[in-house]
Amino acid sequence: MIPIEVNGRTVDAQEGEMLLAALRRAGVRVPTLCHMEGLPPSGACRMCVVEVEGQRGLAPSCALPVSKGMKVETHSSRAVRARQTIIELLLANHPDDCLYCVRNGNCELQGLAEELGVRQRRYAGEKSRHYLDLSSPSIVRDPAKCILCGKCVRVCEEVQGVGAIDFIGRGSRAKIGTAFDEGMNVSSCINCGQCINVCPTGALCEQTHIKEVLEALADPDKFVVVQHAPAVSVTLGEEFGLPAGADCIGAMTAALRLLGFDRVFDTGFTADLTIMEEGSELIHRLQNGGKLPMMTSCSPGWIKYVETFYPDFVENLSTCKSPQQMMGAIIKTWFAQREGIDAAKIFSVSVMPCTAKKFEAGRPEMGRDGLADIDAVLTTRELARIIRMRGLDLREIEPDTADTPFGERTTAGKLFGASGGVMEAAIRTAHFLATGREMGDLKVEAVRGMEGTKEARVHVNGTELGVAVVNGLGNAAKLLDQIRDGRSDLHFIEVMTCPGGCVGGGGQPIRLNRDAVRARMQGLYDIDEKESARTSHGNQSVQRLYEEFLEKPLGEKSRVLLHTHYAQREALV
């Protein structure tokens, strides 16, 4: 550590680190629009400029290494004036529609204009003309609101390894777009929505299904049901001022009832069902020389990534539908039959942490007899908007419990919201199915946490299985390349598209640090510690579903309703 002087006080910095990192650690706030935690600096926005004694010009703190004896003024009149000018120039070419923007009140550009006191227009001229890209089933691009910070490009390329968007054009005509400036629907985009999470303005947002859901709720001829994913209950509260990771499942369920949904289901139930099907599929592959390693299929962004970039691994994907789609299929078959409801009148909504779930729900494979498994998908953010629209506040709602026509979910299913959760649930059940007894300690520490890649060796009844857990598709690509090169010690691989898993999904409340994702993950672990039903095979309601309707895992009905297929797809790259 070396001492530097910041605004007249001494701050300890690590030798060789960038000044911005030292300032943030010391609690000194310097604004930035382009900096991304964990990635090398780009220095694109220049908002983080500071005045350094001995240097004539201002320096971007994100790209300035600290040095012994450095004296820095972070908010000198020159630095503040430079930041004001940057904001004024950005606003000169920005739409004046803040009142209609989805990021109104949560826009970094808007916030910095307020912070820096920008209250008059000093620069005027003809604004660049752009057009909305509405072609994607998951993501809307509004280039008119783009400030060219490059964060969406970086997360798509450097974190996810997709590269669906990049800077195109030159000079004043530079913008961010797809290859050949085509629509997102024909690009290599996997619909993960991580670009939305890092965008500082409203240039990127999800395709909203709010209108369709509200119309269905107002239609007396519709029987409207809703399911909520495991990660939603520990994230929705952030939209209402609750801390990250706080479980608000009771208040959320009550809110969904007040909104008018006829039934409220917990997707954790079909997460347990997924474990039964996926575990049986893995055992079948091991015993019958099936394609290994088997890879999970819960994350639709990951599925499209394999179909597009690694089609030689399509056969490695589990044929299981995701828990969202399994729930949709069961609702429109067994539930409809049992309740005597015409399946065509059921409008099935899911609340998901993931924008790619909108894409998944629209896949032609996800339905039968002309009926889709899922009719509309709301992100966590969209649900919060509807709740506020109806004048409700989660902090003031009396908690309620979910409908359980399928029975309760277990905490194994709840863990699906975190990276490693699918694997942990699968290990618990695999151990029981192979040995006839429960694991001594159900907690599987080796697959927990935020690390991009985690591996473990699991000993089940004398057999050693190699398992791996990956989150973030850049990390998945590295592992797939190893397998292509001949690695053969892995049997089962869990992949979550988004860093941290579903708790860090592209439809979650927008938070700009990894600490929030860690807190959300810990919230799921806390639920697992507190509740008693912690294994998918121990879910008696799932067993009853097999007895009364599905018959058995991998049975004829299960294969028709709960399984699907994938194929190579072409992408414009």
The pLDDT tens digits of the residues spanning 473-493 come to: 999 999 999 999 999 999 999
Model pLDDT, residue 274: 97
Verify whether residue 278 is a known catalytic residue: yes
| C-beta separation of 524 from 421 below 8 A | yes
Nearest to 501 by CA among 427, 456, 429, 449: 449
Verify whether residue 365 is a known catalytic residue: yes
What count of Cα atoms within 13 Å lies in the side-chain half-sphere of residue 256? Answer: 32
Model pLDDT, residue 395: 94
How many residues are there in the chain? Answer: 573
What mean pLDDT do residues 172-201 have?
95
Verify whether residue 298 is a known catalytic residue: yes
Nearest to 291 by CA among 121, 538, 493, 97: 493
For the chain, the average pLDDT equals 94
Q: Strand locations in 403-508, DSSP E?
A: 453-460, 463-471, 492-496
What mean pLDDT do residues 350-355 have?
98
Verify whether residue 205 is a known catalytic residue: no
Model pLDDT, residue 405: 63
pTM over 0.85? The answer is yes
CA–CA distances in Å: residue 43 to residues 20, 59, 188, 516: 11, 10, 27, 25
> What structural domains and CATH numbers belong to the chain?
2-88 (3.10.20.740), 128-207 (3.30.70.20), 211-562 (3.40.50.1780)
Task: Find the catalytic residue in 332, 357, 414, 454.
Answer: 357
Q: Please report where in the chains the tokens 């690509």 appear, as a residue.
A: 477
Task: Find the catalytic residue in 382, 502, 536, 558.
Answer: 502
The pLDDT tens digits of the residues spanning 395-438 come to: 999 998 766 666 688 999 999 999 999 999 999 998 888 788 88
The pLDDT tens digits of the residues spanning 509-540 come to: 997 678 999 999 999 999 999 998 999 999 99
Reported confidence tier of residue 32, pLDDT bands at 50, 70, 90 = very high
Helix axes 249-259, 380-389, angle to 10 degrees: 60
| C-beta separation of 536 from 407 below 8 A | no
User: Reduced to 3 states, what is the DSSP secondary structure of residue 309?
Assistant: helix
Helix axes 77-92, 108-115, angle to 10 degrees: 140
Verify whether residue 318 is a known catalytic residue: yes
In what helix (H) or strand (E) does residue 371 lie, and over which residues does it extend?
strand 371-372
Q: How many Å apart are CA 164 and CA 495, to the nearest integer?
A: 20
What mean pLDDT do residues 331-349 have?
96
Reported confidence tier of residue 136, pLDDT bands at 50, 70, 90 = very high
| Residue spans of alpha helices (H) in 369-453 | 380-389, 411-414, 421-435
Verify whether residue 424 is a known catalytic residue: no
Model pLDDT, residue 125: 84
Model pLDDT, residue 83: 98
Model pLDDT, residue 403: 67
Verify whether residue 354 is a known catalytic residue: no
Task: Find the catalytic residue in 5, 365, 451, 455.
Answer: 365
User: Reduced to 3 states, what is the DSSP secondary structure of residue 359?
Assistant: helix
Q: How many Å apart are CA 76 and CA 61, to the nearest integer?
A: 14
Q: What are phi and psi of 5, to 5 degrees?
A: -105, 125
The pLDDT tens digits of the residues spanning 59-107 come to: 999 999 999 999 999 999 999 999 999 999 999 999 999 999 999 999 9
In what helix (H) or strand (E) does residue 59 lie, and over which residues does it extend?
strand 59-60
What mean pLDDT do residues 136-162 have?
97
Verify whether residue 281 is a known catalytic residue: yes
